[in-house]
Amino acid sequence: MPLIVEVGYASLTGPRERNEDFCGVATPEGQELDNKGILAAVADGIGGHKGGREAAEYTVRGLLSDYFATPDTWSVPRSIETVTTALNRWVIAEGSRNAELAGMATTLSALVLRGRRFYTAHIGDSRIYRLQQGFLQQMTVDHTWEHPELNNVLSRAIGLDPRVLMDFSDGDLAVNDRFLLISDGIWGVLPDALMVEVLLDHPEPQAAAAALSSLALAHGGHDNASAVVVDVLALPAASLRDSLESEASLPLPHRLKVGHEIDGLQIEEILHDARESLLYRVRDLRNGQQLVLKTLQPGMVGDSGATAALLMEAWRARRVVSPFFPQVVPVEQKSCLYYLMTWHAGATLQHRLDAGQHFPVGEGARLGIALLKAIATLHRLDIVHRDIKTDNIHLGQDGVLRLLDLGVAISLGERRADDPIGQAGTPSYMAPELFDNPQPQFAYDLYAAGVTLYHLLTRKYPYGEIEPFQSPLFGEPTRPTRWRPEIPGWLENILLKAVAREARDRFETPEEFLLALERGAARPIAAPGRQPLVRRNPLKLWKIVAAASLVINFVLLLILLR
């Protein structure tokens, strides 16, 4: 069952004879409802003349339009913040260009209902309330100056400052929740007790919104009165994973052999046979296209966690539209649980290394540039790969590098704090701090990329190979020129910075790492400073101090005995 709501709204013009409020609601269906949710917003324009109305209407219309154009993998706050930042720039620029619109600005209060949770975004003094079991809770804080003479003057608004500082909050939804978004033309006139009475006396959202607006003006309100009322009638499955339950109910295919057929796909080769998953190269008998089919091992029947993970992997992969990744191929009707990706002839970097292929330094730098562009694509979508290594990087016969396997990737926008973290990656490619704090972070992908390039060029690891369940000690990384003297100094400095023991000494973004590789010898980065012994190996330092102390004491003893 999808999220079901009922909405009502009203906006009445006060004695000023010009309505500078604007409200709107977007109620999508299908996948857009699951991925982005329902969005409602109220804005109250300020600035006088027509500037306030222009700011309010443009802001609400822009938010309702552009929010749904942001990536599905982004969190709700990031999507709204990105959109409102752009809208804020437009309002400021428009007010600067047109003298009639000078000083135009607007408040904004927005509500997103997605899945079984709600999200609020707020700036200014319009408000969001939640009515639950007869109790009315104010969900926002007014952004006005606290000085008695300035308590009606906004301290924050869209168009007021170059930087937008919005308040965000979120929480769990419940059936029969009623949300109220109103301008100050209502809450500034009607006390909370009267608003509760109106909301309880009018079960229909449209009637409740109309009653609040008209009652505010009837009570002597001198401002415009706008209200949006949203009732929650039914909630969907517990999470995005559960919303894919129609596919989760499909049976797992039996173990397939070369020559077998499934849904018009003929098995040509078993590409990967892992503990939980299987990858086959298949041929579509309808058009002859070669594809990759990924499914679970037959023994995983009944494992709801593994099924949900595969469905979420496919969900993420569909949203990563880039030449640096295999692309998901849609399937109209499936008899079993699997998903299809494009097939590209070639081999992984590790397979090429195992086959004895030697990568020139220039080729290694070129592949590093492509890898960082792929990582940047993921990070812009708020996705952390978490298992970047030579085994998961494919170099096609067409010369294109593609990043594989989003099986342990995490979309930070969809993840909640209490969600299980799961496997963190391959030990030799894991940043030192990951062994103590497995929380997913973008920076860990950059460290793994540095180890990948180091291993590609030297066949070694900067801190030696780390076995599973080992508790490694990290000292100074071995310089790659020890294994391959022809590596130029500029590239060695980049590799050492990428795999530095301390996170603060590494690259902060894929773009910074990428720029260093692209500039190369033309603008080399400085060689990383060698850490003092006290940070590099404190135990060794204290051993040296103890030994020196013992020697000094022994010498002093000999002097005293003379």
Q: Is 216 a residue whose pLDDT tops 70? A: yes
548 falls within a domain: no
Residues 391 and 427 in one domain: yes
The pLDDT value recorded for residue 473 is 83
79 falls within a domain: yes
Q: Which residues of 529-549 are buried (b: 16+ CB within 10 A; e: fewer)?
A: eeeeeeeebeeeeeeeeeeee
Which residue, of 179, 206, 236, is where some domain finishes? Answer: 236
Residues 195 and 250 in one domain: no
Residue type at position 485:
P
- Which comes out higher in pLDDT, residue 64 or 95? 64
Residues 274 and 205 in one domain: no
Q: Rounded CA gap, 200 and 465, in Å? A: 67
556 falls within a domain: no
DSSP lists the bridge partners of residue 23 as: 42
Query: 534 near 541, Cβ under 8 Å?
Result: yes
Domain that holds residue 277: 242-342
Residues 231 and 249 in one domain: no
Residues 146 and 115 in one domain: yes
Dihedral sign for Cα 98, 103, 107, 112, please: positive
Residue type at position 505:
D
Q: Rounded CA gap, 266 and 257, in Å? A: 9
Residues 406 and 516 in one domain: yes
Q: Is 236 a residue whose pLDDT tops 70? A: yes
Q: Under DSSP, is residue 358 helix (H, G, I), strand (E, B) or coil?
A: coil
Q: Under DSSP, is residue 385 helix (H, G, I), strand (E, B) or coil?
A: coil
Terminal alpha carbon distance of the chain: 95
* DSSP secondary structure letters along 99-148: GGGTT-EE-EEEEEEETTEEEEEEESS-EEEEEETTEEEE-----B--SG
Average predicted confidence (pLDDT) for the chain: 91
Residue 122 banded pLDDT, cuts 50, 70, 90: very high
Q: Is 489 a residue whose pLDDT tops 70? A: yes
Long-range CB contact pairs, 85-88, < 8 A, 24+: 85/164, 86/62, 87/58, 87/59, 87/62, 87/63, 87/158, 88/158, 88/159, 88/162, 88/164
- Which comes out higher in pLDDT, residue 245 or 507? 507
Q: Of the segments 238-247, 325-334, 388-397, which one has the largest average pLDDT value?
A: 388-397
Which residue, of 342, 358, 393, is where some domain finishes? Answer: 342
Residue 488 banded pLDDT, cuts 50, 70, 90: very high
Phi, psi of 307, rounded to the nearest 5 degrees: -65, -45
Residues 332 and 357 in one domain: no
Q: How many domains does the chain have?
A: 3
Query: 62 near 47, Cβ under 8 Å?
Result: no
559 falls within a domain: no
Q: Is 448 a residue whose pLDDT tops 90? A: yes
Residues 463 and 429 in one domain: yes
pLDDT in tens, 303-312: 888 998 899 8
Residues 266 and 395 in one domain: no
Q: What CATH number is attached to the domain comprising 34?
A: 3.60.40.10
pLDDT mean over 76-90: 96
Is pTM, for the whole model, over 0.85? Answer: no
The pLDDT value recorded for residue 373 is 98
Q: What CATH number is attached to the domain comprising 292?
A: 3.30.200.20
Q: Rounded CA gap, 435 and 531, in Å? A: 21
Residues 37 and 127 in one domain: yes
Across 42-56, 61-75, 199-213, 456-470, least confident range: 42-56
pLDDT in tens, 358-379: 999 999 999 999 999 999 999 9
Across 28-37, 118-127, 275-284, least confident range: 28-37
- Which comes out higher in pLDDT, residue 14 or 537? 14
Max distance between CA atoms of the chain, in angstroms, equals 108
The pLDDT value recorded for residue 238 is 66
Residue 101 banded pLDDT, cuts 50, 70, 90: confident
Q: Of the segments 32-36, 94-98, 174-178, 537-541, which one has the largest average pLDDT value?
A: 174-178
Q: Which two tokens stand for residue 167?
A: 């308040």
Residue 1 banded pLDDT, cuts 50, 70, 90: confident
DSSP secondary-structure letter at 295? Answer: E
Which residue, of 218, 236, 254, is where some domain finishes? Answer: 236
Please state whether beta strands 135-138 and 127-132 pair in parallel, antiparallel, or not at all (unpaired).
Answer: antiparallel
The pLDDT value recorded for residue 190 is 96
Residues 518 and 490 in one domain: yes
Secondary element (H or E) of residue 401: strand 401-403
pLDDT mean over 500-529: 93
Residue 403 banded pLDDT, cuts 50, 70, 90: very high
The pLDDT value recorded for residue 544 is 80
- Which comes out higher in pLDDT, residue 283 or 98? 283
- Which comes out higher in pLDDT, residue 184 or 332? 184
Q: Rounded CA gap, 14 and 246, in Å? A: 50
Q: Is 530 a residue whose pLDDT tops 90? A: no
Share of the chain above pLDDT 90, in %: 73
Please state whether beta strands 108-114 and 117-123 pair in parallel, antiparallel, or not at all (unpaired).
Answer: antiparallel
552 falls within a domain: no
pLDDT mean over 236-264: 81
Query: 27 near 111, Cβ under 8 Å?
Result: no
Nearest of 449, 519, 455 to residue 491 by alpha carbon: 519
Residues 93 and 18 in one domain: yes
pLDDT in tens, 8-54: 999 999 887 789 999 999 999 988 998 899 999 999 998 655 788 99
Dihedral sign for Cα 541, 545, 551, 555, please: positive
